Amino acid sequence: MTTKLFDLTGKVAVVSGAAQGMGQATALALAEGGADLVLVDRNLAGAEATASTVRALARKALVASTNVSDPAAIAELFRQVDAEFGRVDFLGNIAGDGHLAQPEDLAIADLHRVLQNLVVGRFAMCQEAGRRMLAQGSGSIMNIGSLASSTALGRGHIAYSMAMGAVIQMTRELSTEWSHRGVRVNCVTPAQVTNPSLAARMQEDPTLEGRFLRGIPAGRLGRPADIMGLAVLLASDASAWITGAIIPMDGGNMAMNAGGTPGHEQHRVQTFRQEHKP
């Protein structure tokens, strides 16, 4: 019963950002669940490496180096998907880039670039996948948002936050328009998940990891593999009545008030007090 509920056999999943991180973890989880994969990433070598693992699981894999900021390239991608598979059951809309600049310094061209990537690009992926899913009468889209979709991060995240805020509204609108025709649209909002750019920023500022952890009651940063269960759930019929949801994947970050104290911090303070009792 449980296995059947989460079975993805016969489903075709398009996943962007599939060369590494959460995109790769999503692709591998879906392949393990039985889906065939379209692996999209501008890093072609990385996407090919993911494809090898998918094929080793006896699933089909099509690789595309589509730039997800470019709607014309996205339209071409889906024509390839039509030719190869003739259907799309799941879209993992994951690839994306931010740009850091203080609000007073942000160049309008950089703002346009981020919005083109995270808003227009994510929408074009939803539109192309959605048209096919509507014609089939079924499908599921998982957009990746961020903590920055609904709270402010500071540290020059203005362009990224503006774009990620739009991603959750896009999700709600698409779900409202499409779910009665069998197409579900949800948004996962991760807190800090380890990746090379986050690692570089934490190395540059040695206080950053500690500050992140003070916002994460679960007591550790996210790992790309943390998205695997959600991806399988959202791609499968087990989530048939889940749509329009903004789903935190954040170790408890959004549940805690900014002035709150996570349990691991409280524990550290109590231990310190006990060890330093006069």
Catalytic residues: 160
Binding range to ligand NAD, per CB under 6 A, among 76-84, 178-186, 192-200, 267-275: 192-200
Does 165 sit near ligand NAD (CB under 6 A)? no
Binder among 153, 198, 245, 246 for ligand NAD (CB under 6 A): 198
Binder among 12, 15, 21, 39 for ligand NAD (CB under 6 A): 21
Does 114 sit near ligand NAD (CB under 6 A)? no
Tell me how far apart the alpha carbons of residues 126 and 90 are, in angstroms, rounded to a whole number.
10
Binder among 14, 17, 78, 124 for ligand NAD (CB under 6 A): 17
Taking the complex as a whole, the smallest distance from the CB of residue 10 to ligand NAD amounts, in Å, to 27
Residues 122-161, interacting with ligand NAD (CB under 6 A):
144, 146
Taking the complex as a whole, the smallest distance from the CB of residue 223 to ligand NAD amounts, in Å, to 10
Does 208 sit near ligand NAD (CB under 6 A)? no
Residue whose CB is less far from ligand NAD, 93 or 140: 93
Does 192 sit near ligand NAD (CB under 6 A)? yes
Binder among 33, 96, 130, 165 for ligand NAD (CB under 6 A): 96
Residue whose CB is less far from ligand NAD, 204 or 275: 204
Q: What is the 3-state secondary structure (H, E, C) of the chain?
A: CHHHHCCCCCCEEEEECCCCHHHHHHHHHHHHCCCEEEEECCCHHHHHHHHHHHHHCCCCEEEECCCCCCHHHHHHHHHHHHHHCCCCCEEEECCCCCCCECCCCCCHHHHHHHHHHHHHHHHHHHHHHHHHHHHHCCEEEEEECCHHHCCCCCCCEHHHHHHHHHHHHHHHHHHHHHHHHCEEEEEEEECCECCHHHHHHHHHCCCHHHHHHHCCCCCCCECHHHHHHHHHHHHCHHHCCCCCCEEEECCCCCCCCCCCCCHHHHHHHHHHHHHCCC
Binder among 14, 15, 22, 88 for ligand NAD (CB under 6 A): 22
Q: Which residues bind ligand NAD (CB under 6 A)?
A: 17, 19-23, 41-43, 46, 67-69, 94-98, 117, 144, 146, 190, 192-193, 195, 197-198, 224
